[in-house]
Each structure stands twice: as C-alpha cells, then as structure tokens.
Chain A
Amino acid sequence: MTLNVSTAAVGVNGLSRRYGATQALDRVDLTLERGITGLLGPNGAGKTTLLSILATVNEPDTGRVSVFGLDPRQAAERVEIRRRLGYLPQELGYHRHFTVAGFLDYVAILKEITDRRRRAEEVARVLAAVGLEGRARTRIRALSGGMRQRLGIAQALLGEPELLILDEPTAGLDPEQRLRFRELLSGLPGDPVIVLSTHQADDLAAICPQVVVLLQGQVRFTGTPAELAATAAGRVWAADERDGRAHLSWRGGDNRWRHIGDHPPGGAELVAPTVEDGYLLLSQAAGAR
C-alpha cells in the first residue's frame, strides 16, 4: 500500500525514548489519518510520552517523526508544526491568579494571535464550544475538575488546529459532558487529525474510527474498534458459575458471570466480545510474555 499524505498526515518511525532505566517507547511505528485515533493502554505504557513527542514538546532518543510532511528536528519546520497544533497535556498547568478568559488570552498570544480583536473573538469561540461562555471572569482555581478539563480542551482548540493532541481529555468529565465532548470533536471544521489517549473503552468505540493499543512502550494493535473487539471472538463466555481458569471473570449486571479466557466454563455460552474484552486479552498476553 502506498502512503498518501492526505491519509497518513502524521507518521512516526522506529520511535524510542528512555527515561533512566525505563524504556517509555520501544521502536514505535505509527501512522495517523485525518479523523480521530484513540490511543489505549494502561498507565505507564508510554501514551503520554508518545503524545508529547508528537506535540514537539519532547525529543525522541531515536526514530523519526513526520507531521504534515514536516520534520520537528528542523527549527523552522517545528514552528510550522506548532502553528497547526492544539495540545492538551495530561496535566494542564495554569497560573493561580488566571481567570478563564485571561488564561485563554495568554495561550492565544503564545499561538501568535497578536491582534486583540481577533484574540477576543477566538477566545469567545472556544469558550462557547466547550460551554464555558458564562465563566469568562471566573478564576481557574475556582472551577470544578470537569470545567477545568473543558478549559484545557478549549485552549487546545484555539486557532483551529489541524492536528489536535489530547492527553486523556475525558478524565474528570461526567457522562453528559463526555457526550458533549464527543459531539464537539465530531463537529470540528476542516477535518483535523485528532489523536486522544483514554482509559475509557466506550469513548473509543463511540468516536474513534482508528484504535491503537500501546503496551509496555510498543504498539500491539492498530485497527478499528470492531477489529479490536473481534480479537476476543470465541474467548468471551457467559455462565451461571464462576470458573477459576479464566483470565478474568466478573459478575455482570444480569447476575451472570462473564468469563474471558480460552477455557469455556461448564454450561457457558459464547457472547459477542466488546472493545474492552479485546483490550484485556491483549494486555494479558503482553503481561505473560
């Protein structure tokens, strides 16, 4: 298959990064297409490191990164990438005395929106997009966790970025806010490349046409949510009794035991696997290696 720039806007090749004794990323190859890609993996799998390298905040030890055909190692090209980038770090740093509008105004200046009028328009636009328009004058430290997270998403949207990198954007959002977030991402103009990391398998299944599973610094799966679920086909069972040989089993809302594993318990019937089942089996297999 030949890679077309419009379908593989962002690519990394042989990416490795080590922090002391920890190998955070180990020869990662990945291409990201326009649309939403979900990055799934346990804590410490290297998701944040990968995203910070894509966001040009960190340098890899080895390997190459290409964003819209630009190389972040070249100073001029790196600036060009940053002009087209929106980044939500895992922990949004903010100064204690900032108000919501003051913070967004500050980030907008860093994004080279120097005209005051345009900056105010852009700040008003992103505030409305995340439903914080009534909070412009509130101090950030007075916001709830969910509102703070929405503020983080808002600053990433400043300047209508073509590449949106969101590190755990749904952390701290309540169910309604998560649905609104999905709506927001689906409605972004200009068909940007969006990559988000999450622990929520249902977020992935709902909005990400492409899923990447990162385990121990390596890419272990790339495909659609349905393909990830299908990796668990024939290995998910429902039964009335618990079976000790399962990788994992729990009692569901219907009071029946859900078993994941290769050994069908007595009287069990096969059930349709979910994205979570596929992910669990993948991480079990990686842990056993």
Chain B
Amino acid sequence: MTSPFPDAAGRVTEAAWHADADLLASYATGTADPVVVWSVEAHLAGCAQCRSALSAHADAERLARNRSVLLVRVAVPGGGRMRRLLCRCGVPDHLLRLLAATPSLRRSWLLSVLGVVAVVTGEAAAVRYGWIRADRTGRLAGYPDPEVLAPFLLAAPLLVLAGVAAAFLPSFDPAFRLAVAAPFSGFTLLLVRSVSALAAALIPVVGAAFVVPGPGWLPAALLLPSLTVCAFALAAATVLEPRAAAVTAGALWALPALLLAAAHLPLAIVQPNAQFACAAVLCAAAAVLLARHDRFEWGGMR
C-alpha cells in the first residue's frame, strides 16, 4: 500500500491507496499498532473495497470472543450519573465499581436515614404531645432549653458510627475471605468503604442538625465528633475484634453524652472543650491506624 495516513486535509480519497492483505490481517487479529489501527479505521470508513477485503480476514473465534466480552460488559452494571460525575472528578473507575458492589454501603445509608428520621420524628412527637415545651412562636423551645437536644446529640455520632461499622465489619461482607486473599490492599478497601459510608451517613445526620432546634453551629459541631468516633472504632479494630471495637467506640461517646445530659449540660458534648478532646483522640486514632494498618491485610481479624 502507498501510505496508511490520510492526506493533509484529513480526507481519505477513494483509490488513493488500499490496505494490503498483511495490514488487514494484523488489524483483524488485533496485533496492529494503535496508530495504524486508527488510520486503517479511518480508511475503512470510506473504502468499500477494503471493507470487503477485511471480511476475509475475520477470525470466527476472535469474533466469538469479542461477542462474549461484549455480553459481559453489558451484564456488569454500569452505574448512573453519580458515577459518571465522580469519574469526571478523577475518582478511578475501578474504585467506583468496587463501591457500587459494596451493598453494605446501602445499608449504612438506610441505617442513618432511618435513625435520623426516628430521632427527629421522636422529638417532633414529643413537642406535639407536650412532653417538650414549645415557645410562643410555635417553634421548639430550642437553644434556650438545650435539653431538647440531648437525644439527638447522643444518637447523631452513633448513627454515623453504625453506618461506618456496617461498611467495615467483616460479618457484613459475605465475600470477606475472597477480599482478604486478593492482592488489593485490605486497608485501602477498608478506607474507601469507610469514607464513603461516613459521607453517606453524615448527610442525613448533618441535615437533621439543621432541622432540630439548636445553635446555628450545631451541624458543623457534629462533624468532628462523628469522624472521631469512627476513626476510634477503626483504630481499635487493629487491637480488638472489630465488633468489640465498634461497641467500645460507641460506648466512649454515649457515656460522656449521657453524663452531661444528666448534669443538664447536653450541649457541652459538642462545645469547644469537647471539640479539643475529639481532635486529640482523632490524632491518636490516626497514628494508631497508620502504625497498625497491617492488621487489616490479614483475614486474621480472628
């Protein structure tokens, strides 16, 4: 053949050149160089003679293989707009696929949504039936009477923790053994799942913080405690059995929250001193996780 490349104007003129048998064979078997493949395809689009010559090189076995690969690609769920958006934001496609195939994330999301709805409905019902006083404007007697918030403050980080625990506890992953025996880092898998479960659970919890009566900074003030409780659970799981780690983390939040509520100071659990304490625990948990993350590479979380 004369030249595999189109002329300067980008046009391929009929009969200017034709792909020879060797070139068509290498194209048909997939052994041709990608640049050559590109130019052959550009040429084939406008040359009926080469298209019919190509059909002689079509390999039935290869076609059958391509067909079954195509069937597999159709059978693997593609994911919707959210996935395309995240893909465009630079999140690797295989990580998104991994997340899409982690059903415990749906459970995390459902758990936190249901939990938040239950707590908020509970508080609304309490106001409706007069168990909690409402002020004259009909709004919840909120910030001046912060005890209204005690159940929500207790539950919010626990709901986030429950969501994250559902994503990392091996008992929620039926394919756990397969995941452990695979080279994909167990710690990376754990982090990817936990971070996405954290995000999924934080949305309804923080959203509810806007709805319940309380200071305007409440939604922001819940972020650090929620993150800390989850990080503590992960760090503790490098030492304890994972379920025990999650329960311990929950208890470490519930105890001071209950004590402060009993002392009529429920908001203190998210006020500056507590935030500092949370930051300190978060740093310590991160250090433990970094030092001991190798534990997650064993199925030996016995």
Contacts and interface: CB of A to CB of B under 8 A. Distances in A.
Interface of A: 52, 55-59, 75, 78-80, 82-83, 85, 87, 89, 92-107, 109-112, 114, 116-117, 120-121, 123-124, 127-128, 133, 136-137, 155
B177 interface: yes
Contacts of A155: 178
B65 A124 contact: yes
A120 B72 contact: yes
A97 B77 CA distance: 11
B75 A99 contact: yes
Interface of B: 65, 68-77, 92-94, 97-98, 101, 103, 173-185, 189, 294, 297-300
B68 A133 contact: yes
B30 to A, nearest CB: 11
Find the residue from B75, B77, B103, B294 having the highest chain A CB count within 10 A: B75
A114 B92 CA distance: 9
B183 A79 contact: yes
Contacts of B69: 117, 120-121, 124
A128 B97 contact: no
23 contacts: A56-B299, A75-B294, A79-B183, A83-B183, A89-B178, A101-B76, A102-B101, A103-B175, A105-B101, A106-B97, A107-B182, A109-B94, A109-B98, A109-B101, A110-B179, A110-B182, A110-B184, A111-B182, A114-B94, A116-B73, A117-B69, A120-B73, A121-B69
B183 to A, nearest CB: 4
Contacts of B93: 114, 116
A55 B97 contact: no
Contacts of A94: 174-175
Contacts of B184: 109-112
A102 B182 contact: no
A194 to B, nearest CB: 15
Contacts of B183: 79-80, 82-83, 110-112
Contacts of B178: 87, 89, 92-93, 107, 110, 155
A93 B173 contact: yes
Given A52-B299, A136-B71, A87 B181 contact: yes
A172 to B, nearest CB: 18
Q: Is chain A's binding surface mostly helix, strand, loop or mixed?
A: helix
Given A58-B299, A124-B65, A106 B98 contact: yes
A230 B94 CA distance: 53
Contacts of B101: 95, 98, 102, 105-106, 109
Nearest to B64: A128
A194 B173 CA distance: 27
B178 to A, nearest CB: 6
B68 A93 contact: no
B294 A57 contact: no
Contacts of A107: 175, 178, 182
Contacts of A133: 68, 71
Given A56-B299, A87-B181, A93-B175, 14 more contacts: A52-B299, A57-B300, A58-B298, A85-B181, A94-B175, A101-B72, A107-B182, A109-B101, A112-B183, A120-B72, A124-B65, A124-B72, A133-B71, A136-B72
